[in-house]
Amino acid sequence: MPEIWLRYGTTDVALDIRFENLYKEITPRVVPLQEDQINSKLRGIPLKDNCLLIVFSSTPATKQVLSSLVNSAINKGITGNIMIPLKLKEFIDVRNEKWSSSLLSGEDLLALRGTMAKFDQTLFLSHSSYDPLFGFEGTPTHLLRKFMKDKMAEAIALRGTDMPSPGTMSEPYRLALSLCSDIDALSVEIVGDSNRISDVFWGSIDESFKNASSKLTENTNLEQQQVKSEIISPGSELFYHSTLADSLNSLWNCISVLNRNGSAILLSESRRGLGSEALQTYIEGRSHISSSTGNSKYVDGQEHLIFLEAVQERYNLGIVSTIPEYYLRTKLGFETFDSLKQVLGNLLSRHGKNHKVTLVSDAHFTLPLVEKDLNDGDLKHPT
């Protein structure tokens, strides 16, 4: 019997599963670059003195690139300031003896431009991944969500489906690109998993994001068949376990390979709670899922309510979390579990003692998609 460890917030939890009940473990498709290759790519960035470096991610890969950029600048006598959003404060330490650091304040684009105007150059740093609304996550989507909230309602309205659509270059994706095309700054986009870097792109905000998105498309996990169940961990990066809203992106990444009426179980410690205004107002009874599609004003996280309603019509959703059962089960419709042992028992009871379970251990950076049979166009189904 193999013992498989999956990340759950600040700890790793063991899943004791028989070989005959394990279908496969899906992990990101990453061919990592060597450190000298990464540094070679970064050396081409034309850094200027009095530089503002805004960091939107907290992964070990991000920290590696950030350290390389700052050390290169210091060696050239370049001074600067590193800024991070408040939500990343406890997840990434950007202090440096020769560069100052501070929290990124302001909630609109005018305030951001005012901050940028104090510096001779602005450089954004993001770890690209998948996004259920925009298709891909990177500097443009971070800018929209934090500084262009008035445009988020437009992005919601442009979606082509109520189902999550990670990995698609859709109308919301094109909107994000267009809204950032005139921002005078460079952007560095990292591609890989939490710890390994498969590529780094830099340039204008829109161009670097397009290049990173194309690379992510190449890294898609093409599976030969749909699966009946998944146990999903966002991965080793603590930030993606910290709130329900951040963990849900991992669930949305993996939902398309699930067979109809299949089961998806999410590991989401959520020690910082729900993580979005829309989820909070919904569980407090101050809004309805159906009303979230028609609002002219965007409420942070409302896309998750839209996706929940659509996904729960097709699949069984479960969760292991510290959020009270009343909110998860009664309000949000999740089946709740206290342990992986309980999860596995439920899956085998529901789908049969010979059922094979699929594991996704770094789901925030993994996009599994089903590859259709070229002979008959039908999808294969495992036991």
Average pLDDT over residues 263-278: 96
Q: What is the pLDDT of residues 122-153, one digit of tens each?
A: 999 999 999 999 999 999 999 999 999 999 99
Q: Is 12's pLDDT higher than 70?
A: yes
Q: Is 253's pLDDT higher than 60?
A: yes
Residues 352 and 235 in one domain: yes
User: In the numeric block, which tokens belong to residue 6?
Assistant: 């999956």
Q: Which of 34-38, 41-45, 374-378 has the lowest mean pLDDT?
A: 374-378
Q: Which residue in this structure is represented by tokens 């698609």?
A: 168
Residues 230 and 358 in one domain: yes
Q: Which of 28-32, 134-138, 204-208, 354-358 has the lowest mean pLDDT?
A: 28-32
Last residue of a domain, one of 173, 195, 217: 217
Residues 186 and 39 in one domain: yes
Q: Taking the CB of residue 222, how many other CB atoms lie within 10 A of it?
A: 12
Q: Is 358's pLDDT higher than 70?
A: yes
In a domain, 375, yes or no: no
Average pLDDT over residues 193-205: 95
Q: Give this prediction's pTM.
A: 0.92
d(CA 234, CA 194): 10
Residues 154 and 121 in one domain: yes
Average pLDDT over residues 268-276: 96
CB of 293 closer than 8 Å to CB of 257:
no
In a domain, 377, yes or no: no
d(CA 84, CA 55): 5
Q: Which of 118-122, 348-352, 371-375 has the lowest mean pLDDT?
A: 371-375
Q: Is 365's pLDDT higher than 80?
A: yes
| pLDDT given for residue 377 in this prediction | 39
Range of the domain at 283: 3-28+221-370
Total domains present in the chain: 2
Q: Is 68's pLDDT higher than 70?
A: yes
Q: Is 107's pLDDT higher than 90?
A: no
Residues 89 and 236 in one domain: no
53: burial class by Cβ within 10 Å (0-12, 13-18, 19+)? buried
- CATH number (domain holding residue 159): 3.40.50.11440
Residues 146 and 211 in one domain: yes
CA torsion 176-178-183-186 (nearest 10°) is 70
Residues 86 and 17 in one domain: no
In a domain, 288, yes or no: yes
Residues 190 and 85 in one domain: yes
pLDDT band for position 379 (50/70/90)? very low
Q: Is 318's pLDDT higher than 90?
A: yes
Give the chain's mean pLDDT.
92
Residues 171 and 101 in one domain: yes
Residues 162 and 293 in one domain: no
pLDDT band for position 295 (50/70/90)? low
Residues 299 and 362 in one domain: yes
CA angle 316, 332, 261 (to 5 degrees): 10
Average pLDDT over residues 155-184: 95
